[in-house]
A = this chain, B = another copy of it.
Amino acid sequence: MARSKARKNAFYAQSGGVTAVINASACGVIETARKHKDRIGKVYAGRNGIIGALTEDLIDTSKESARDIAALRHTPAGAFGSCRYKLKSLEENRREYERLIEVFEAHNIGYFFYNGGGDSADTCLKVSQLSKKMGYPIQAIHVPKTVDNDLPITDNCPGFGSVAKYIAIATREASFDVASMAKTSTKIFVLEVMGRHAGWIAAAGGMAANEECDLPIVILFPEVPFDREKFLAAVDQKVAEYGYCSVVVSEGVRDENGKFLADQGLRDAFGHAQLGGVAPVIAQMIRDNLGHKYHWAVADYLQRAARHIASKTDVNQAYAMGKAAVEFALAGKNSVMPTIVRTSNRPYRWKVGEAPLSRVANREKMMPKGFISRDGFGITKRCRDYLAPLMAGEDYPPYGKDGLPKYVCLKNVPVPKKLPDFELK
């Protein structure tokens, strides 16, 4: 055990909204670290993200079998628990940073891998500065993840490709359904999708239709201020041409005054605020103005947890980002994030790149204007060329005899605590 002092343990945690493939990144981190036992000791996972570090609630991933770690690759959501918790600045809450150092020191942690989106990159950036600002030697690497696809620099974000695939398939399947029903019943189907600020996920709904499969789809992007008359005219035209219409609406669509459409001032008998999403609002608007019978769906968590129909590209990239993060750490890097660099569209090729965290944290990437069609209700060929390879390929989980996918539940054995309790503010 002479080398055990030289080698450091690693901390890994998941942050923010989870995805169908964030555990594939965890799998990449842990499997790669296990291949470098001479340099990296144990991988301790934070239970519920950075909260696990602050409260010294660590999980000893070395207690998990190779088989269970491998199964993370096909298991959705966050196996160690996630959190919505943003570190304050060093000036605002120095005590938190001191605590992090105490925990890292107590458990000989020299590598910090944080798996999340823009807010999490900010947390990771702050931790990466512990070396310089507080003299504790740590290498902090951010592992990108977000269904919203809104991180800068990287061509795309792990988690997005699978949601895009799910939404495109759901839109195609539901459109086939409403097409069957349109003659005597439902003529309008409205699907509400995630994406409060950026329309990447809504755009994926447009992939349901193409030259081989002609379906009438109207998309409402958060980037395009809602124009009621233009929208109703677009739907009316589709119904006239096809006999039915599907609408894919982003939860974040707003009117010209920036007010969320979902906020319709609905009240129940007790004066409680409205409960619905934007899908029923849009559906009812069509009914009231054009008179068509409708159905609507809100996919919510189903879309981001749908590991059963994850994109193979996405799973591979999520794993690769976790692997690259460990390799970056072994190469002595700090305060960086591996990225996905697209090198070719046809055939699709990509490689791992690198971005400094200071350029990633707290920045959102919107849809380019050239991705939305001129009428504001569809996607362009450029958008299709961008999306298609991210949704390509299937990566099915194994199934049991009951017809259900076999997702792993880890043992999540806690690391014995060495420090007094710490209270979160």
B265–A268 contact, CB under 8 A?
A: yes
CB proximity of A299 to chain B, nearest CB, Å: 6
In the assembled complex, the Cα of A399 lies from the Cα of B213 at a distance in Å of 13
* Residue tally, chain A, CB below 8 Å to B: 95
Q: Say if the beta carbon of A178 comes within 8 Å of chain B.
A: yes
A174–B404 contact, CB under 8 A?
A: no
In the assembled complex, the Cα of A37 lies from the Cα of B295 at a distance in Å of 41
The quantity of this chain's copies bound in the complex is 2
Kindly identify which residue among B168, B305, B393 contacts A176, using a CB–CB cutoff of 8 Å: B305
Q: Say if the beta carbon of A332 comes within 8 Å of chain B.
A: no
Interface residues of A in 401-420 (CB under 8 A from B): 401-407, 409
Given A288-B272, A391-B404, A305:B177 Cβ within 8 A: yes
Q: Say if the beta carbon of A89 comes within 8 Å of chain B.
A: no
In the assembled complex, the Cα of A79 lies from the Cα of B362 at a distance in Å of 48
CB proximity of A424 to chain B, nearest CB, Å: 9
B295–A297 contact, CB under 8 A?
A: no
Most B CB within 10 A of own CB, among A180, A272, A297, A400: A180
Interface residues of A in 358-413 (CB under 8 A from B): 384, 387-388, 390-394, 396, 399-407, 409
Taking CB atoms, residues of chain B closer than 8 Å to A298 are 279, 296-298
A409–B213 contact, CB under 8 A?
A: yes
Which residues in A have some Cβ–Cβ distance to B below 8 Å? 14, 17-18, 20, 47-48, 51, 75-79, 81-85, 164-165, 168-170, 172-174, 176-185, 189, 191, 207-208, 210, 212-214, 264-269, 272, 274-277, 279-281, 283-284, 288, 295-302, 304-309, 311, 313, 384, 387-388, 390-394, 396, 399-407, 409
